[in-house]
């Protein structure tokens, strides 16, 4: 029974339950569309949370990795006729290599400088995607063929929902395992104090690089899926605002909480759709909700609420 | 105990909200539902804002006058914030959630291209308000558009250049879809019109100085005229830079510059710039027997009366889109999507703000170069040329 409260078993089971149960209450394809976007954002955030929440590093360039994955799929399948899965893998491998090479100098930076480094990277990717119009279609974007694999085409919201749901569950499962391994404990030591971690024999740089690459590759994979799902992508995917949005999702949901990242992604993806009734005041309300959350639920949604429930149960028993 | 109680309340609240939502959709089956997704905010706001205001003005007016086929007209507008990536979700929402009978919108080419696959799959009549020719070429079954294409603009411009004996042209174009498409069309049309492109320069998104490109164009041998392919803020910058380096040849731009913000932004440097524009832009200078005079005057009056601001031709795109759909619904005798689509395709000599539309199975725009007039900037406003 107690194991159900462990995130690795209970949490994952709950997530799988939600993913499997949602189709019972989603009334039409629009809701599926929002759910799919939540799933894709959540996959990126789960990876980003590893970096922010566990390794204590801020990346303001993750939209860049997401967009690189998306454009790799778009260009390789569209212009060069690659099979989508090969393009997806090539994109992920390319982003993995890029992030590995960049991680060495960038992750030696600390605090604000690291954020600046990843910010610069994201902006460079955004500029390249905007300017290389011959390759990427420029600011107006480019179309992406459907996702075909093993003789089947993934088409329609239901199929995409199933695929994205599966990818999300697998990424969460992998992440939870990683956190619960010696690597994860080393990362938490790095987050706590780099000097102390190094003193106890943790190879700080190596772990930071590892987690940076893992989160970049997850972003790239999610980007590829998004490109095939949307069928059309623009360089706005790589924008600075989008990077900020991703970081906000992680912070809002609760740093160092994998499910927090999922919840944060869900809230920030659904909110703009839910607020369309406010029309011109949409962004105002959006900002107010974010500020309210950060002021009153300072650790983020999931850790704060989990703490509240735990306290209640404890006092209820007493 | 407490925790469980509030959880039950939460479920109950959800159920009530869901019931209320379904009740609303059930009772609203009666009116004609039109959906729009526009760039009301963001960098395309100078286009999307007048489009939204135009649609709202007329939908309100029509519903007040008894509606179409005795049914009220309902308008649902979503703001994409000028982001093509937001367009697709809003279009799905319009189709699946709001169950609209037709869709108007896609202020920019990017927003339009992003949703074409969805619109075609869902089989909903769709009228785009974006410029590029690629939207309707090749023809897509459910996709129509109202703004003139860049190709029409280039044709009109080249005819004017030819008439003035200008045959050696230098082109500068921006990075957007409209810009690129305009440049491609200029390249393709030039030989047929007997013109030579002697310089072909491009600038990037967000550039604030085009002097280097213009200097190279100035150095091109035998340069006789200059054409800028682009719209929005860069149009004013180009006009200023042209003045600064003293290019010294006639300066042409496209209908993408046909708004007062171009003239104001250029701070005097727009004087003498020629461009093709919808007749709406110079409504007061139109001769009384001009076929669009009545429509354009009525539109201008309705818009300025309500919003106390000058019209732009962009709102005219929305006017045409709205009325082409409503006329088609009238002829189809209902909102059956396939019938409405067929009737839109049969639009014949519809007099709109952008021109006189005659569509066909091979032409989902229905305008020709006659729908443009040539204008020149003079004394800070537009002068109609003959």
Answer whether residue A65 is part of any domain: yes
Answer whether residue B133 is part of any domain: yes
Mutation target vs B (from A140, A235, A311; most B CBs, 10 A cutoff): A140
Answer whether residue B6 is part of any domain: no
Amino acid B5: pLDDT: 47
Task: Give yes or no for residue A170 having a pLDDT over 90.
Answer: yes
Chain B residue with Cα closest to A127: B205
Q: What are phi and psi of B73, to 5 degrees?
A: -110, 130
Domain tally for chain A?
1
Chain B residue with Cα closest to A33: B89
In Å, what is the CA distance from A266 to each residue of A46, A131, A279, B24?
Answer: 12, 32, 21, 26
- pLDDT digit string (tens) for A50-80? 888 888 888 888 999 999 999 999 999 988 8
Amino acid A114: pLDDT: 76
**SS3 at position B42:** coil
Chain B residue with Cα closest to A317: B1
Residue B354 burial (10 A CB sphere; 0-12, 13-18, 19+):
buried
- pLDDT digit string (tens) for B73-105? 999 999 988 888 889 889 999 998 899 999 998
The reply to whether B108 and B237 lie within a common domain is: no
* Contacting A residues, span 231-290, partner chain B, CB-CB under 8 Å: 231-234, 236-237, 273, 276, 279-280, 282
DSSP labels for B362-378? TBSS---GGGEEEEEEE
DSSP conformation class of A1: -
The reply to whether B131 and B175 lie within a common domain is: no
| Residue of A215, A241, A240, A249 whose CA lies nearest to A55 | A215
CB A89 within 8 A of CB A155: no
CB A78 within 8 A of CB A137: no
Domain housing A114: 29-276
Amino acid A237: pLDDT: 87
As a three-state string, the secondary structure of B278-325 is EHHHHHHHCCCCCCCHHHHHHHHHHHHHHHCCCCCHHHHHHHHHHHHH
CB A29 within 8 A of CB B92: yes
Answer whether residue A6 is part of any domain: no
The reply to whether B82 and B196 lie within a common domain is: no
Answer whether residue A288 is part of any domain: no
Amino acid B103: pLDDT: 96
A&B contacts, CB < 8 Å: 92
- pLDDT digit string (tens) for B217-252? 999 999 999 999 988 889 999 999 999 999 989 999
The reply to whether B77 and B118 lie within a common domain is: yes
Q: At what angle do helices A29-49 and A62-78 cross, to 10 degrees?
A: 120
Would the CB atoms of B175 and A138 count as touching at under 8 Å? yes
Task: Give yes or no for residue B10 having a pLDDT over 70.
Answer: no
CA B71 from centre of chain: 28
- pLDDT digit string (tens) for B144-164? 999 998 888 999 999 999 999
ipTM (interface pTM): 0.81
Domain housing B171: 151-282+372-384
Min mean pLDDT across A133-147, A203-217, B87-101, B130-144 is at A133-147
Residues of B with CB under 8 A from a CB of A: 1-3, 18, 22, 40, 78-79, 83-85, 88-89, 92-93, 95-97, 108-110, 113-115, 117-118, 175-177, 180, 204-205
Task: Give yes or no for residue A211 having a pLDDT over 80.
Answer: yes
Question: Residue B59: which CATH number?
Answer: 3.40.50.2300
For residue A6, name the pLDDT band (cuts at 50, 70, 90): low
DSSP labels for A182-234? HHHHHHHHHHH-HHHHHHTT--HHHHHHHHHHHHHHHHHHHHHHHHHHHSEE-
**Is the bond into A73 cis (omega within 30 degrees of 0)?**
no
Domain tally for chain B?
2
CA A296 from centre of chain: 24
d(CA A263, CA B257): 45
Facing residue for A28 by CB, picked from B2, B96, B114: B96
Answer whether residue A212 is part of any domain: yes
Answer whether residue B378 is part of any domain: yes
Min mean pLDDT across A184-193, A214-223, A228-237, B116-125 is at A184-193
In Å, what is the CA distance from B70 to each residue of A175, B28, B330, B371?
Answer: 59, 15, 10, 33
Task: Give yes or no for residue B16 having a pLDDT over 80.
Answer: no
- pLDDT digit string (tens) for B267-299? 989 999 999 998 888 988 999 888 999 999 999
The reply to whether B74 and B179 lie within a common domain is: no
Answer whether residue B15 is part of any domain: no
To the nearest whole angstrom, how far is the Cα of B22 from the nearest Cα of chain A?
Answer: 10
Would the CB atoms of A316 and B2 count as touching at under 8 Å? yes
The reply to whether B83 and B221 lie within a common domain is: no
Answer whether residue A16 is part of any domain: no
CB B171 within 8 A of CB B158: no
Would the CB atoms of A131 and B205 count as touching at under 8 Å? yes
Task: Give yes or no for residue B325 having a pLDDT over 60.
Answer: yes
Using a CB-CB cut-off of 8 Å, the residues of chain B touching A138 are: 175-177, 180, 205
Token code pair at residue A235: 């360089």
Mutation target vs B (from A36, A232, A282; most B CBs, 10 A cutoff): A232
The reply to whether B254 and B314 lie within a common domain is: no
Amino acid A287: pLDDT: 81
To the nearest whole angstrom, how far is the Cα of B80 from the nearest Cα of chain A?
Answer: 11
Token code pair at residue A241: 């605002």
d(CA A250, CA A318): 34
CB A98 within 8 A of CB A219: no
The reply to whether B210 and B253 lie within a common domain is: yes
Would the CB atoms of A140 and B92 count as touching at under 8 Å? no
Using a CB-CB cut-off of 8 Å, the residues of chain A touching B229 are: none
For B239, residues 6+ apart whose C-beta sits below 8 A from its C-beta are B251, B253, B262, B266, B269, B270, B273
Amino acid B102: pLDDT: 95
Answer whether residue B12 is part of any domain: no
The reply to whether B191 and B271 lie within a common domain is: yes
To the nearest whole angstrom, how far is the Cα of B85 from the nearest Cα of chain A?
Answer: 7
Other residues' Cβ atoms within 10 Å of the Cβ of residue B338:
12
Mean pLDDT of B42-46: 83
Would the CB atoms of B1 and A29 count as touching at under 8 Å? no
Answer whether residue A154 is part of any domain: yes
Answer whether residue A300 is part of any domain: no
Chain A residue with Cα closest to B177: A140
Using a CB-CB cut-off of 8 Å, the residues of chain A touching B40 are: 280
Answer whether residue B277 is part of any domain: yes
Would the CB atoms of B180 and A143 count as touching at under 8 Å? no
To the nearest whole angstrom, how far is the Cα of A231 from the nearest Cα of chain B?
Answer: 7
Answer whether residue A295 is part of any domain: no
Facing residue for A33 by CB, picked from B40, B92, B109: B92
């Amino acid at each position: 029974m107690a194991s159900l409260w462990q995130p690795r078993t209970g949490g994952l089971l709950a997530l799988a339950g939600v993913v499997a149960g949602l189709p019972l209450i989603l009334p039409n394809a629009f809701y599926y569309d929002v759910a799919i976007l939540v799933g894709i954002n959540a996959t990126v955030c789960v990876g980003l949370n590893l970096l922010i929440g566990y390794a204590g590093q801020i990346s303001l360039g993750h939209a860049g990795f997401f967009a690189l994955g998306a454009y790799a799929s778009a260009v390789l399948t569209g212009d060069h006729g690659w099979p989508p899965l090969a393009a997806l893998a090539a994109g992920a491998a390319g982003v993995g290599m890029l992030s590995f090479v960049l991680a060495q100098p960038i992750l030696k930076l600390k605090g604000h400088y690291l954020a600046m480094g990843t910010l610069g990277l994201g902006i460079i990717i955004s500029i390249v995607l905007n300017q290389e119009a011959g390759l990427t279609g420029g600011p107006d974007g480019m179309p992406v063929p459907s996702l075909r694999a093993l003789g089947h085409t993934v088409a329609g919201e239901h199929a995409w929902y199933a695929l994205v749901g599966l990818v999300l569950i697998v990424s969460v499962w992998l992440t939870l395992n990683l956190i619960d391994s010696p690597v994860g404990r080393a990362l938490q030591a790095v987050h706590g104090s780099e000097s102390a971690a190094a003193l106890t024999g943790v190879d700080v740089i190596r772990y930071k690089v590892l987690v940076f690459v893992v989160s970049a590759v997850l972003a790239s994979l999610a980007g590829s899926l998004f490109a095939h799902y949307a069928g059309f992508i623009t360089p706005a995917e790589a924008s600075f605002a989008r990077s900020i949005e991703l970081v906000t999702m992680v912070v809002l949901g609760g740093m160092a909480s994998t499910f927090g990242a999922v919840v944060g992604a869900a809230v920030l993806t659904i909110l703009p759709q839910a607020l369309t009734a406010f029309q011109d005041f949409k962004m105002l309300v959006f900002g107010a909700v974010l500020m309210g959350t950060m002021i009153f639920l300072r650790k983020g949604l999931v850790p704060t609420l989990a703490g509240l429930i735990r306290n209640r149960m404890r006092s209820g028993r007493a | 105990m407490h925790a469980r109680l509030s959880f039950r309340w939460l479920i109950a609240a959800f159920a009530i909200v869901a019931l209320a939502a379904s009740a609303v959709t059930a009772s609203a089956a009666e009116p004609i539902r039109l959906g729009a997704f526009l760039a009301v905010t963001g960098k395309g706001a100078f286009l999307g804002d007048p489009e939204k205001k135009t649609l709202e003005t007329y939908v309100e007016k029509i519903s007040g006058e008894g509606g179409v086929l005795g049914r009220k007209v309902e308008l649902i507008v979503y703001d994409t914030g000028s982001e093509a990536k937001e367009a697709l979700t809003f279009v799905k929402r319009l189709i699946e959630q709001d169950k609209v009978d037709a869709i108007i919108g896609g202020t920019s080419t990017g927003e339009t291209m992003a949703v074409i696959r969805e619109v075609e799959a869902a089989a909903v009549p769709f009228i785009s308000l974006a410029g590029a020719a690629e939207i309707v070429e090749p023809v897509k079954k459910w996709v129509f558009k109202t703004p003139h294409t860049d190709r029409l603009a280039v044709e009109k411009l080249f005819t004017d250049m030819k008439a003035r004996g200008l045959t050696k042209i230098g082109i500068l174009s921006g990075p957007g879809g409209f810009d690129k498409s305009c440049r491609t069309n200029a390249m393709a049309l030039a030989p047929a019109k007997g013109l030579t492109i002697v310089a072909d320069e491009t600038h990037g998104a967000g550039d604030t100085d085009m002097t280097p490109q213009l200097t190279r164009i100035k150095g091109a041998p035998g340069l006789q005229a200059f054409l800028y392919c682009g719209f929005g803020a860069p149009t004013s910058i180009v006009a200023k830079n042209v003045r600064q380096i003293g290019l010294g040849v006639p300066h042409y731009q496209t209908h993408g510059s046909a708004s007062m913000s171009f003239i104001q932004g250029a701070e005097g440097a727009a004087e003498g710039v020629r461009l093709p524009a919808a007749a709406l832009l110079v409504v007061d200078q139109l001769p009384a027997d001009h076929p669009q005079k009545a429509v354009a005057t009525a539109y201008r009056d309705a818009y300025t009366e309500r919003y106390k601001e000058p019209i732009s031709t962009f709102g005219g795109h929305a006017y045409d889109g709205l009325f082409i759909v409503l006329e088609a619904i009238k002829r189809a005798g209902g909102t059956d999507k396939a019938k409405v689509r067929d009737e839109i395709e049969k639009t014949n000599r519809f007099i709109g703000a952008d021109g006189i539309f005659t569509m066909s199975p091979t032409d989902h725009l229905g305008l020709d170069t006659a729908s443009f007039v040539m204008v020149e900037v003079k004394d800070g406003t537009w002068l109609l040329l003959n």
